[in-house]
Amino acid sequence: MTSPKEISPGLVIQRFTPPLALADFRLIAFDMDSTLINIECVDEIAAAAGRKEEVAAITEAAMRGEIADYKASLRQRVALLKGVSVQHLQDVYANRLQLNPGADRLVAACQAAGMKVLLVSGGFTFFTDRIRDRLGIDFTRSNVLAVEDGKLTGKMVDQPWGDICDGDEKRRMLLETCERMGISPRQAIAMGDGANDLPMMGEAGLSAAYHAKPKVREQAMVAINSGGLDRLLEVLR
């Protein structure tokens, strides 16, 4: 292990790795909110309920690792969304959500190299399903918002794999996907920005922090602190 080294402005190698190629990997796993996309969806949904500031403060604390119980924090935030219409979610997707710079290019490069793509999120299927279809992503895992009469109930729906996709579930999904593909986790890349991404990043052969919280930058093998997601290609030949 060596000291962190900035190999070009805003791109830091936190831990020494030998020269790597995309061909060394078979899977890339992305967090969604603030990693693959530009927003925290739960915060933008909360805007319709007049609770964005309150919800965003909880989100920020959770992503910084200052809230130990991610599930409880998400339940708390979702409860504040009660009564928001599903149409508002569509408005968030259409008018607020954008792919982060370089997302298209990085995903396309990985797919061209024969890699599968996993989107694993503490966010919601309303958005992950649309991003999956937009980018041709192979696997997803995220949370389902409960809806009645076209409005959010303030709760989430349990799924066959469990109740909430938190950090532990992200890790399990990464390992489960690797097992399904017949590969080692060392053949996976994991990219994220928040504390709930650290469990899956710790299993991957290459972990990359994207414009991440300090705790995540410190533990990742590569930290992209400026520029787009495709800057990862600068360390993958």
Which residues are tagged catalytic? 31, 33
* Cβ(102)–Cβ(228) below 8 Å: yes
- The pair phi, psi for residue 17, each rounded to 5°, is -135, 145
Q: At what angle do helices 103-112 and 125-135 cross, to 10 degrees?
A: 60
Q: Encoding tokens for residue 197? A: 């991404």
Strands (E), 89-150: 116-124, 139-148
Q: Which of 141, 136, 119, 152 is nearest to 37 (CA)?
A: 119
